[in-house]
């Protein structure tokens, strides 16, 4: 697998010119292990990494004012999340994923609690900042509400372009990298001057230069944005801009700026954190921490809809709804 991906990486560059215990994860930022390095001297981030976790992005109201869970609470959260795919608690935990039997048990990649009440670390209350007044006004419009429901396949669409990017097999995992219920894996590969991040769900490659590169014009937009990396001591810092207008991940704005930080913590862990800035959507920047742990390979191919047969079926259903008296 590594050889195949490296081959793809080289061609692309030419064309373009097991989980740690909660206590160990909690203390990872204070550890200073010896950093292994690539033959050319950069810190070694290569490997297959699993970032699945039951810890939610935002802090639930029941844990308001609390940064950490007790061991008993973490065990309860893990139990609730482990029953996600098989019980009525799925709709309680996340109504958006209430898709009975869309996967069998083999495919779920649910993870466990990292001991925190939220992945968001800034603001300190563990929740997204307030939205701007302009954004709130827009999201209250019929157009915005319709686009949101169509994007999740919850309303009839006029055409395929109205469905979400994942339903269209264009892109699934956005920037920044946040956990879901399945396929929570990335593979990192490095060459001198480049870092490659593969997220196999819909085959998303990010080829990130870590050498001086010219800025890309504001008008040039890509599904995963334009990323530029640099090393700050032993931490890889990646800044991403220039996302496409249709890449409205969870109603985020197209002009958001994401700064990701990757720090290797020994053989089995990477600290991954990010900060998102988009003052057209939120009143202030916000940030989160997602610990990664080493995973066994290989990565299996994710073939989306195996020809995307669901697209014509969804559109046929939409036209049937239109035809109702």
Please give the biggest Cα pair distance in the chain.
Answer: 70
Lowest-confidence segment of 41-55, 146-160, 173-187 by average pLDDT: 146-160
CB within 8 Å of 134: residues ≥ 6 apart: 280
Nearest 10 degrees: CA dihedral of 10, 239, 244, 302? 50
Q: Is 149 left (phi over 0), alpha (psi -120 to 50) or beta?
A: alpha
Confidence label for 14 from pLDDT (cuts 50, 70 and 90)? very low
Would you state the pLDDT for residue 230? 96
Classify residue 104: in a domain, yes or no: no
Query: Which SS3 state, helix, strand or coil, does residue 282 take?
Result: strand
Q: Nearest 5 degrees, angle CA 233-CA 239-CA 240?
A: 160
Q: Half-sphere exposure of 165 toward its Cβ, with a 13 Å CA cutoff? A: 19
Number of domains in the chain: 1
Q: Is residue 92 part of a domain?
A: no
pLDDT attached to residue 248: 61
Whether 255 and 246 have beta carbons less than 8 Å apart is answered as no
Q: Is residue 100 part of a domain?
A: no
Distance CA 220, CA 299 (A): 31
Q: Say yes or no to pLDDT of 272 above 90.
A: yes
Q: Rounded to the nearest 5°, which phi and psi values hold at 293?
A: -135, 155
Span 250-269, mean pLDDT?
Answer: 87
Classify residue 86: in a domain, yes or no.
Answer: no
Distance of alpha carbon 111 from alpha carbon 306, whole angstroms: 27
What pLDDT does residue 169 have? 83
Structure confidence at residue 307 (pLDDT): 67
What pLDDT does 30 receive?
A: 47
Q: Is the pLDDT of residue 74 over 60?
A: yes
- Is pLDDT of 217 > 50? yes
The yes-or-no verdict on residue 279 having pLDDT over 60 is yes
- Which residues fall within 8 angstroms of residue 263, CB to CB, at 6 or more apart? 234, 235, 236, 270, 271
The reply to whether 216 falls in a domain is: yes
What was the pLDDT predicted at 96?
A: 44
Is 236 within a domain?
A: yes
Gap between the Cα atoms of 39 and 242, Å rounded: 32
Is the residue at 171 inside a domain? yes
How big is the CA angle at 209 (ends 205 and 211), to the nearest 5 degrees? Answer: 170
Burial of 46 (C-beta count, 10 Å sphere; 0-12/13-18/19+): middle
226: preceding bond cis by omega (within 30 degrees): no
84 part of a folded domain: no
pLDDT average, residue stretch 235-246: 90
Tokens of 261: 């930080």
Structure confidence at residue 104 as a pLDDT band (50, 70, 90):
low
56 CB-near residues (< 8 Å, 6+ apart): 118, 119
Mean pLDDT (the chain, rounded): 81
Q: Residue 187: its pLDDT value, please?
A: 94
Domain hosting 226: range is: 2-72+110-322
Residue 31 has pLDDT above 70, yes or no: no
Position 22 scores a pLDDT of 39
* 114-135 mean pLDDT: 95
What pLDDT does residue 285 have?
Answer: 96
């Amino acid at each position: 697998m590594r050889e195949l991906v490296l081959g793809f990486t080289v061609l692309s560059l030419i064309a373009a010119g097991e989980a740690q215990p909660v206590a160990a994860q909690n203390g990872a930022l204070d550890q200073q292990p010896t950093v292994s390095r690539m033959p050319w001297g950069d810190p070694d981030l290569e490997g297959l990494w699993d970032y699945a976790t039951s810890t939610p992005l935002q802090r639930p109201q029941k844990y308001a004012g609390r940064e950490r869970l007790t061991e008993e609470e973490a065990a309860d959260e893990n139990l609730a999340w482990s029953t996600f795919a098989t019980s009525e608690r799925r709709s309680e935990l996340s109504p958006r994923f209430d898709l009975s039997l869309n996967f069998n048990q083999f495919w779920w990649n649910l993870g466990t609690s990292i001991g925190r009440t939220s992945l968001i670390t800034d603001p300190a209350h563990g929740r997204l900042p307030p939205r701007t007044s302009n954004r709130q006004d827009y999201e209250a419009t019929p157009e915005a509400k319709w686009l949101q429901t169509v994007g999740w396949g919850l309303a009839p669409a006029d055409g395929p372009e109205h469905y979400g990017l994942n339903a269209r097999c264009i892109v699934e995992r956005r920037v920044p990298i946040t956990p879901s219920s399945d396929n929570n894996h990335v593979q990192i590969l490095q060459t001198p001057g480049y870092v490659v991040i593969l997220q196999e769900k819909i085959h998303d490659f990010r080829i990130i230069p870590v050498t001086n590169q010219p800025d890309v014009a504001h008008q040039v937009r890509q599904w995963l944005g334009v990323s530029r990396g640099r090393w700050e001591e032993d931490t890889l810092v990646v800044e991403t801009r220039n996302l496409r207008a249709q890449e409205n991940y969870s109603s985020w704005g197209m002009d958001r700026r994401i700064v990701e930080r990757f720090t290797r913590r020994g053989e089995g862990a990477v600290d991954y954190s990010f900060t998102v800035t988009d003052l057209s959507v939120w009143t202030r920047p916000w940030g989160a921490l997602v610990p990664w742990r080493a995973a066994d390979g290989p990565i299996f191919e994710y073939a989306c809809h195996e020809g995307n047969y669901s697209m014509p079926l969804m559109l046929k259903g939409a036209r049937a709804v239109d035809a109702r008296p």
